Chain A
Amino acid sequence: MKMNLSNSPEFVESLTSAFPTLENKFDTLKITVKSSEWVEKVSQLKDEFNLTYFSWLSAIDWENEVSVGDPPKEPVTSHFEIVCCLSDSLEGNLVLISTDIEKEDAKIPSLVKVFAGSNWHEREAYEMFGIEFINHPNLTKMYLPDDYEGNPMLKSFELISREVKPWPGEVDVEGMPDDGAEENS
Chain B
Amino acid sequence: MDEILNSGNIPYVSEASVSVEIETEDMTLNIGPQHPSTHGVLRLVAKVDGEKISSVEPVLGYMHRGYEKLAEVRTYPQITTLVNRIDWVSGFANEIPFIAATEKLMEIEAPERAKHIRLILTEMARIASHFVFNGAYALEIGALTPIFLAMEDRERILDLIESVTGGRFHPNFNRIGGIKPAAGSGPTTKKNVQDLPSGFYQETRDAMEKVLEAVERMEDLVGGNEVFKMRTKGVGIISKELAEEYGVSGPILRASGVKFDLRTQTDFLPYDKFEYEIPTGENGDCYDRWYVRLVEMRESAKIILQAIDSMPSGPLQTKVPKVIKVPKGQSYVRTENPKGEMGYYIISEGGLGPYRLKIRTPSFSNISILPVLLEGQLLPDLIAIMGSLDFVLGDVDR
Which residues on A are within 8 Å of B, measured CB to CB?
1-6, 25-28, 30, 52-56, 58, 60-61, 68-73, 83, 85, 89-90, 92, 94, 96, 115-117, 119-120, 128, 141-145, 152-153, 157, 159, 162
Contact = CB atoms under 8 A, between A and B. Distances in A.
A56 B331 contact: no
B213 interface: no
B264 A1 contact: yes
B61 interface: yes
Contacts of B104: 26-27
B125 to A, nearest CB: 19
A119 B351 contact: no
Contacts of A56: 247, 343, 358, 360, 365
B68 interface: yes
B35 interface: no
B242 to A, nearest CB: 8
User: 10 closest Cβ contacts across the A-B interface?
Assistant: A143-B61, A117-B246, A70-B351, A69-B72, A143-B64, A26-B331, A92-B265, A3-B272, A120-B368, A56-B360
A119 B372 CA distance: 12
Interface of B: 60-61, 64, 66, 68-70, 72-73, 104-105, 241, 244-249, 253, 258-260, 262-265, 267, 271-276, 328-334, 341, 343, 345, 347, 349-356, 358, 360, 364-365, 368-369, 372, 397
A55 B343 contact: yes
Given A55-B341, A162-B73, 5 more contacts: A54-B365, A58-B345, A69-B351, A73-B351, A143-B61
Contacts of B272: 1-3
Contacts of A5: 265, 267
Describe A's contact surface by its main secondary structure: loop
A117 B267 contact: no
Nearest to B350: A73
A90 B278 CA distance: 13
Given A1-B276, A55-B360, A96-B332, A153 B264 contact: no
12 contacts: A4-B264, A60-B356, A69-B72, A70-B353, A73-B349, A94-B332, A94-B334, A116-B246, A117-B365, A142-B60, A143-B397, A144-B61
B328 A73 contact: yes
Nearest to A90: B260
Nearest to A52: B244
B60 to A, nearest CB: 6
A143 B331 contact: no
A89 B244 contact: yes
Given A52-B245, A89-B258, A153-B68, A70 B352 contact: yes
A104 to B, nearest CB: 21
B105 A26 contact: yes
A89 B260 contact: yes
Contacts of B260: 53, 89-90, 92
